[in-house]
Amino acid sequence: MSIAPAFDVRADHDEASVAPIVRALGRTAYEPTWRAMQAFTDARTPASADEIWLTEHPPVYTLGLAGRRAHLLRDNGIAIVHVDRGGQVTYHGPGQLVAYLLYDLKRTRRGIRDMVRRIEAAVVAWLAGVGVDAYCNVSAPGVYVMRDGIEAKIAALGLKVRNGCTYHGVAVNIDMDLSPFRDIDPCGYPGLRVTQLADFGVRRSVDHAGRELAPLLARHLA
């Protein structure tokens, strides 16, 4: 898989010298992107810059390391890929922004839980900026909103740490077909509602959303 040129987030970053490289990949097939993240992580050195990859995928279910097939409720023809991130099952598809976070935890001197909370905080801050109130749940990673009086998940998160470095990341539902979520227990939680930015009357393309969110991710992870 060829890696896209970077765009600059340094103007929105507190320390330009440590700003990550951000790459807008466009729509990519899931498995080659996953393998590219593994290869990047295996090849990086202590001097390698951290990177954020922004993409969206064709329809695919991914099942994490501890994933149970029981959470796949019915076969609807969408491919299932077993992956090496944490968590259970989730769905990726067109209209969903996926931000892959390739960070050196040793350099940041942060633990994985702190990184998860910072990623969530960046998404919450971005949603607040477009007029959507969102929050985190300490017992269930991700970002949640209240819709029609019911809690619903708007962003799912899962990471892998290899050699002290992270890959995988966060998926934010922007403007997509949510029906494939009905055929799984999202993130392993039966009955969990799922929503998206468009349900709140906010219209963004995946590319536009990524360019807004990336500087916030960079700042929160600095």
Query: Of the listed 99, 187, 197, 218, which one is catalytic?
Result: 187
d(CA 28, CA 10): 25
- Count the Cβ atoms, other than its own, within 10 Å of residue 208: 12
Angle at 184 between CA 135 and CA 120, to 5 degrees: 20
Would you call 165 a catalytic residue per the annotation? no
Helices (H), 49-197: 105-108, 112-129
Q: Are 120 and 157 in contact (CB under 8 A)?
A: yes
Q: Are 58 and 96 in contact (CB under 8 A)?
A: no
Cα maximum dimension of the chain: 49
> Under 8 Å CB-to-CB from 150, ≥6 apart: which residues?
193
Residue at 37: amino acid letter: M
127, two tokens = 């949603």
Backbone angles phi, psi at 160, to 5 degrees: -125, 135
Show which residues are catalytic: 187
